[in-house]
Amino acid sequence: MTSLLRVDGLAGGYGDVTVVRDVSLRVDGGQAVFLAGRNGVGKSTLVKLIAGQLAATGGTTTLDGRDMTALPQHGRRLHGIGYAPQEGVVFDDLSILDNLTLHYPDRDLNRYGDLFRLFPRIEERLQQMAGTLSGGEKKILSFCRALAEDTPLVILDEPSEGVQPENIDRMARVILDQKARGRAFLVVEQNLTLVEDAADHVYLLDHGECVFETGRSNDLREDLSKRLQI
């Protein structure tokens, strides 16, 4: 069986500084794969390399059998890789409405119907400038924008950062629902509740390398909690 996303021996970083070293991973359709690890171990750098925000210095990234390695971020988006970054998640100088619609030829909000029902505050404040939102509210806005896009794979970098627990639960519900429809997720996350609720497989990173991986299990949270002390 061919995985939707294949990453083989990926390496890269910033200038002459290598952050990610020889990482390989797989994400199948209908699966949520999570990247765990302490701050500063290379998780965000890894997803930037996969999304095309950074150029790899080694290895390959393949989506549904198509080599994405040489494509820039917008090219990967056209072929089906959605991406919600950890930082710079919204356009502060634009309204919430514009943030949700600027990348579409129309301003039709029907695509957000299910998400608005879960996160009604977004719909209630469409004319508000996105820059006036709290950090957690910006994360929810970014999450909604990425989930509404028609991509087979969604990359989420720390989606729960600053988000209230009840909205983290709603994020998990969306991920589970869309997984059931065949969509795939690659998620950087430190909130172990979200990992436990939604993950099918977890890769643990340390010093830019994958040092452990595991599937779902009854003791997933305990196992990760222990290993995150490395």
- Strand locations in 85-189, DSSP E? 153-157, 184-188
> Is residue 138 within 8 Å of residue 161, measured between CB atoms?
no
For 84-94, write each residue's pLDDT tens digit. Answer: 999 988 999 99
Q: pTM for this one?
A: 0.93
pLDDT-derived band at 1 (thresholds 50, 70, 90) equals: low
Q: What is the C-alpha separation between 102 and 168, in angstroms, rounded?
A: 26
> Is residue 29 within 8 Å of residue 184, measured between CB atoms?
yes
> Is residue 52 within 8 Å of residue 73, measured between CB atoms?
yes
> Is residue 3 within 8 Å of residue 26, measured between CB atoms?
yes
5 token code pair? 């996303």
Q: What is the C-alpha separation between 47 and 77, in angstroms, rounded?
A: 13
For 36-84, write each residue's pLDDT tens digit. Answer: 998 999 999 999 999 999 999 999 999 999 999 999 999 999 999 999 9
Locate the domains of the chain by residue range.
5-227
Q: What is the C-alpha separation between 171 and 164, in angstroms, rounded?
A: 11
- Which letter, b or e, does each residue of 207-223 get, where b requires 16 or more Cβ atoms within 10 Å of its Cβ? ebebeeebeeeeebeee
Q: Which CATH class is domain 5-227?
A: alpha beta
How long, in residues, is the chain? 230
- Which letter, b or e, does each residue of 168-184 get, where b requires 16 or more Cβ atoms within 10 Å of its Cβ? bebbbebbeebbeeebb
Average pLDDT, the chain: 94
